[in-house]
């Protein structure tokens, strides 16, 4: 055996000259190469790898060995706390012109417009790669000089019982990270806040739209709050809000980058978008994800059926194709009774409707008759083989989170009733 | 919310008041007596403010 050895001093192997590597051979074959860049390439490697750290994820390729999942962190199912974050579900319709203040539009998303121009909201069929829909707000009447209390913002609200994983109000309070895609003709800063509705606290931060008319993904991490626990119930404990414009009453403070006692003046203090200042303005948002931790992960896609069911905890309807008095479709109509004999005026019933998904709370029920346009708070009465009567009195009652009943006390001679419904249990 | 024509109504089965019929933003709705319901919450708020009153059930 021959040994290359130095004692009490460094040993230098020098493949001098550009492009020359240090090559190790065994039995006449190359088994390892150390190149000029310091890259060691060997035919095999053995060792515990205990001292290998900070390996770039891109360099981990090929088939991974079996891994004990208990040692993995930051990976969990159902990461996204946002419902309908990809704006796919829109049971109420797909477009709302001159939208009123505090209006639910796409499922579980609520727009507030208090005296600051007029807008059309649509479920837009555009989005960044991987997203077929987005929430679009299009300014149709401008207000370049909003008064102090004017505002334009978008909400999503959360039940307290779905927030217990955040450990709010404890020393172990979790951070959350928001990620979303946004596109607008406007550039500048938008502000997003978390509002703790149980303890009247808030935290917020801004994001920057850098390029007009370009989809950009934004990420904001909010620190955990060691003060004020969320109620463990079905009430509203948290809302997340995107501010697009406001008067000075909401902008004269400072952006609350740490948790603080809620202050109206801070809610849009960092916002510069001024979406109301021109009818050329619009903004699209989609791919919204809110997850525990300090890192944004890829958007968690859920099936349409899953997403719809999550939305139906808050809103459900018998209409196909959007809730509207102008929706003349009979598809999904609730029909009760209607035999061809024994027709009467007065009490006719009883229709019992069981919801597809149990509701968050006992919902508000709107009943629509079969007229065109439909009358709300009315039903149609019918008897097999005779013309139905529209715009007839209807009473709903015995309403719970799983079902309601309805009867008609109208004047049209009939044996049964016909109606569509919408059940609203939004926060 | 613009609320008009608020009136209590009774159960279909039992002779007890179970909700409020009201026109909310131009749409006739049946609102349950549930403080977790956002429409009922708003009705109570507007009653407290003296903006609306609720008629008795038939």
pLDDT at A201 over 60: yes
Share of chain A above pLDDT 90, in %: 81
CB contact under 8 A, B29 and A360: no
Taking CB atoms and an 8 Å cutoff, what residues of chain B touch A155?
none
pLDDT in tens, A340-360: 999 999 999 889 999 999 999
- Residues A217-241 have a mean pLDDT of 98
Residues of B near A (Cβ–Cβ under 8 Å) read 1, 9-14, 18-19, 21, 23-25, 27-32, 34, 36-40
- Percent helix, percent strand, percent coil in chain B, to nearest 5: 20, 40, 40
Give me the pLDDT at residue B57, please.
94
Question: What predicted TM-score, i.e. pTM, was given to this entire model?
Answer: 0.85
The neighbouring-strand residues paired with A184 are A283
Burial A393-415 (b: 16+ CB within 10 A, else e): ebbbbbbebeebbbbbbbebebb
Token pair 């109206």 is at which residue?
A: A264
Summarize the confidence of residues A102-122 as an average pLDDT: 97
| Mutation site for B-interface testing, chosen from A397, A424, A426, A427 by largest number of B Cβ within 10 Å | A397
Mean pLDDT score across all residues of chain A: 93
Closest chain B CA to residue A408: B12
Of B11, B25, B40, the CB nearest to A398: B11
Instruction: Find chain A residues with C-beta within 8 A of B23's C-beta.
Output: 377
Q: Once rounded to an integer, what is the mean pLDDT over residues A273-293?
A: 98
* Predicted pLDDT of residue A78: 85
Q: Which residues of B touch A427 (CB under 8 A)?
A: 38
Q: Å from B45 to nearest chain A CA?
A: 16
Asked if the Cβ–Cβ distance from A360 to B36 is below 8 Å, we say yes
Q: Nearest by CB to B27, which of A234, A363, A376?
A: A376
**Region A115-131: what's the mean pLDDT?**
98
Q: Which of A73-82, A111-120, A141-150, A178-187 shows the lowest mean pLDDT across its residues?
A: A73-82
- Comparing A13-22, A133-142, A352-361, the range with the smallest average pLDDT is A13-22
Structure tokens at A368: 């629509």
Q: Which residues of A touch B24 (CB under 8 A)?
A: 364
Would you state the pLDDT for residue B58?
A: 87
Higher pLDDT, A150 or A65: A150
For residues A371-389, one letter each, b for 16 or more C-beta atoms within 10 angstroms of the residue's C-beta and e for the rest, the string is beebbbbbbbbbbeeeebb
Distance from CA of A365 to the nearest CA of B (A): 5
Task: Please answer yes or no on whether A405 and B13 come within 8 Å at the CB atom.
Answer: yes
Residue of A nearest to B24 (CA): A366
A349 CA: distance to closest CA in chain B (Å): 10
Of B12, B23, B36, the CB nearest to A395: B12
Are A184 and A273 in contact by the 8 Å Cβ rule? The answer is yes
Picking from A367, A375, A399, the nearest residue to B19 by CB comes out as A399
Report the range of poorest mean pLDDT among A17-21, A71-75, A162-166, B5-9. A71-75
Question: Distance (Å) from the C-alpha of residue A358 to the closest C-alpha of chain B?
Answer: 14
When pLDDT is averaged across residues A6-12 and rounded to a whole number, the result is 84
Residues of A in contact with B40 (CB under 8 A): 364
pLDDT on residue A76: 60
Q: Could you give the count of Cα atoms lying within 13 Å of B50 in the half-sphere of its Cβ?
A: 0
- Do the chains contact at A397 and B10, CB–CB below 8 Å? yes
| Chain B partners within 8 Å of A407 (Cβ) | 12
Among B43, B18, B35, B16, which Cα is nearest to A399's?
B18
ipTM given for this complex: 0.91
Percent pLDDT > 70 in chain A is: 98
DSSP, residue by residue, A37-50: T--EEES---S--T
Is-contact A416 A389, C-beta < 8 A?
no
The pLDDT value recorded for residue A38 is 85
Can you tell me the mean pLDDT for A211-218? 98
What's the pLDDT tens digit per position in A70-96?
666 656 678 999 999 999 999 999 999
Residue A399 reports pLDDT greater than 60? yes
Q: How confident is the model at residue B13 (pLDDT cuts 50, 70, 90)?
A: confident
Which pLDDT band holds residue A45 (cuts at 50, 70, 90)?
confident
User: Contact B32/A395, CB-based, under 8 Å?
Assistant: no
| pLDDT score, position A74 | 57
* A399·B21 Cβ contact <8 A: no
* Alpha carbon distances (Å) from A207 to A131, A179, A194, A197, A243: 21, 10, 14, 23, 11
When mean pLDDT is compared across A20-29, A253-262, A324-333, A359-368, the lowest value belongs to A20-29
Q: What is the pLDDT of residue A63?
A: 77
């Amino acid at each position: 055996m021959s040994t290359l050895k130095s004692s009490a001093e460094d040993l230098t192997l020098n493949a001098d000259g550009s492009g020359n590597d240090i090559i190790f051979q065994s039995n006449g074959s190359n088994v390892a190469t150390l190149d000029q860049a310091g890259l060691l390439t060997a035919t095999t490697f053995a060792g515990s790898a205990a001292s290998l750290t900070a390996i770039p994820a891109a360099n981990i390729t090929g088939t991974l060995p079996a891994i004990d999942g208990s040692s993995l962190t930051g990976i969990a199912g159902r990461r996204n706390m946002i419902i309908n974050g990809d704006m796919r579900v829109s049971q109420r319709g797909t477009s709302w012109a001159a939208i009123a203040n505090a209006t639910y539009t796409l499922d579980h998303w609520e727009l507030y417009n208090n005296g600051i121009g007029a807008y059309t909201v649509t479920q837009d069929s555009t989005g960044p790669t991987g997203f077929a829909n987005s929430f679009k707000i299009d300014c149709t009447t401008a207000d370049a000089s909003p008064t102090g209390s004017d505002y334009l913002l978008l909400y999503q609200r959360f039940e307290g019982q779905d927030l217990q994983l955040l450990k709010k109000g404890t020393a172990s309070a979790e951070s959350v990270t928001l990620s979303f895609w946004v596109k607008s003709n406007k550039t500048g800063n938008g502000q997003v806040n978390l509002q703790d509705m149980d303890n009247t606290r808030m935290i917020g931060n801004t994001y920057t739209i850098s390029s007009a008319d370009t989809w950009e993904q934004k990420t904001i991490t909010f620190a955990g709050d060691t003060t004020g626990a969320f109620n463990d119930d079905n009430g509203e404990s948290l809302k997340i809000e995107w501010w697009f414009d406001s008067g000075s009453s909401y902008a004269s403070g400072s952006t609350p980058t740490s948790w603080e006692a809620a202050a109206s003046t801070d809610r849009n203090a960092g916002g510069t978008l001024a979406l109301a200042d021109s009818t050329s303005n619009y903004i699209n948002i989609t791919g919204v994800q809110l997850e525990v931790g300090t890192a944004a992960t890829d958007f968690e896609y859920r099936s349409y059926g899953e997403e719809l069911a999550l939305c139906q905890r808050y809103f459900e309807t018998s209409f196909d194709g959007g809730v509207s008095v102008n929706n003349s479709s009979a598809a999904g109509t609730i029909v009760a009774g209607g035999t061809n004999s024994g027709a009467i005026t007065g009490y006719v019933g009883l229709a019992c409707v069981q919801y597809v998904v149990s509701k968050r709370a006992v919902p508000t029920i709107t009943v629509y008759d079969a007229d065109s346009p439909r009358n709300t708070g009315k039903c149609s009465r019918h008897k097999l083989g005779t013309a139905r009567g529209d715009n007839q009195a209807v009473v709903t009652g015995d309403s719970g989170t799983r079902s309601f009943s309805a009867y008609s006390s109208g004047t049209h001679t009939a044996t049964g009733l016909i109606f569509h419904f919408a059940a609203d249990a939004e926060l | 919310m613009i609320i008009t024509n608020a009136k209590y109504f009774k159960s279909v089965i039992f002779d007890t008041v179970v909700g409020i019929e009201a026109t909310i933003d131009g749409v006739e709705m049946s609102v349950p007596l549930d403080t977790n319901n956002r429409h009922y919450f708003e009705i109570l708020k507007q009653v407290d403010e003296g903006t609306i009153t609720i008629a008795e059930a038939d």
